Amino acid sequence: MRPTTPPARVASPTGPLADTPSATASAAPVLVSADELLRSDVLRLAAAAGVVVDVARDPSTALRRWPVAPVVLVGADLAGALAATAPPRRAGVHVLGHGALPDDLFRHALGVGAESVAALPASETWLVELLTDVGDGAATPGVTIGVLAGSGGAGATVFACALAQAATTRGAALLVDADPLGPGSDRVLGVEGDAGVRWDAMLQATGRLSARSLRESLPRRGALSVLTWPADGSASLQPFALREVLSAGARGFGCVVVDLPRRPGKVVDEAVSRCDHVVLVCGLTVPAVAAASRITRTLLAGAVSRHLVTRGGAGGVAPAEVSQVLGIPLLVAMTDQRGLDEAVNLGAGPLRSPRGRLARAARTAVGRLVGPGGTAATVGRPVAARLEAAS
């Protein structure tokens, strides 16, 4: 959640007290301050976040840790002195002070390349959330993949579930069901009876969502967490809620798969803008391709990286022809899998058979879209979304 008084944003660049780096300095946030009160407050908040903060009492010590610390917190007492050294520009720098902040502190914040200036105690909650995300180990945001149906009955929800299950071979994965009129990802996976937060509870939250809170609150099977709809379908998804979930998901999971709605609007626009890849699932009939063409023009104009998955038998339109008509590269072509409906009805999930056609297609897609350790493969990330996810 955000503090009562949010930290002021400024122009941004692209544990134990110690004056020497700790054994974990490469992974520890750094506080640059000789102010005993500020150091005491920051260390208390770091303990609440479950992280250890290294303390540098002078600019020279701070500069030695500057390149490796995931986050640098610069005290108001040393901001001017540090700015005078002209430190290299880097992300994750924030200036902290107490109470009313002097006007010249913002000039010093620009000098150190800070992203924000925050006053304690008003910004304590924000600082705990920031340090908690550092403790989550989210130095590199996970890859976000949207899955969209080209037409009704294309099987996009089933493929999204299979893709998310296959992604767990690379680490923790999150499946976000953003389609309130779909079949429900929890029912496809067989986790509808599992305890955990659904969209209705998520929509009541305000402010910044931490990756750790998201991970710990959702229904989970193995390494796969699922955010879906309440059984009565009473929730109505808002863009701000989806934005917070996808940002927290990218910080806390190696891969986030989003089952996208097929209706134009702010929700789908928000989701597509935050996806590293968008996969369009299309049938191999002429009506299905015609519908997919409309979906492509209407909903995928802002997609950074588009991919096509075709589903159907050999008697339909050739997958290569569908790719040519839609102007979307073919990611994988799969035929219908016998026994899939039975597996879903039994609550076994779409990947009941690891050697089935759907499982092979999902693994192929993961191999091409998700790099080692949950990084986006083949294309770069949307800059604005990735910067926010890393903050």
Is 149 in a helix, a strand, or coil? strand
Residues 136 and 373: their CA atoms lie apart, in Å, by 14
Identify whether the C-beta of residue 184 lies closer than 8 Å to the C-beta of residue 229.
yes
User: pLDDT digits over 196-221, tens only?
Assistant: 999 988 887 666 677 888 888 999 88
CA atoms within 13 A on the CB side of 187: 9
| Packing angle, helices 76-84 and 104-111, rounded to 10 | 50
Domain residues of the chain, as ranges? 8-135, 143-390
Reported as type and span, the H/E element at residue 144 is: strand 143-149
Residues 189 and 197: their CA atoms lie apart, in Å, by 16
Is 41 in a helix, a strand, or coil? helix
User: pLDDT digits over 119-168, tens only?
Assistant: 999 999 889 878 877 876 655 678 999 999 999 887 899 999 999 999 99
The CA-atom distances, in angstroms, between 294 and each of 6, 116, 156, 372 are 42, 43, 16, 34
Q: Do domains 8-135 and 143-390 have the same CATH topology?
A: yes
Identify whether the C-beta of residue 187 lies closer than 8 Å to the C-beta of residue 158.
no
Place of tokens 């092979």: 360
Please report the pLDDT score of residue 388 as a whole number: 39
C-alpha torsion 158→164→168→173, nearest 10: -150
Report the alpha-carbon angle 297-257-179, nearest 5. Answer: 60
Global pTM? 0.69
Does the pLDDT at position 22 exceed 50?
no
Long-range CB contact pairs, 18-25, < 8 A, 24+: 18/54, 18/55, 19/55, 19/56, 19/57, 19/58, 19/61, 20/61, 21/54, 21/64, 21/65, 22/52, 22/54, 24/52, 25/54, 25/65, 25/68, 25/69
Does the pLDDT at position 373 exceed 80?
no
| Residue count (the chain) | 391
Q: What is the CATH number of domain 8-135?
A: 3.40.50.2300
User: pLDDT digits over 296-331, tens only?
Assistant: 999 998 788 999 999 987 777 999 999 999 999 999
pLDDT band, very low/low/confident/very high, at 376 (cuts 50, 70, 90): low
List the beta bridge partners of residue 147.
259, 279
| Homologous superfamily, domain 143-390 | P-loop containing nucleotide triphosphate hydrolases (3.40.50.300)
Identify whether the C-beta of residue 331 lies closer than 8 Å to the C-beta of residue 309.
yes
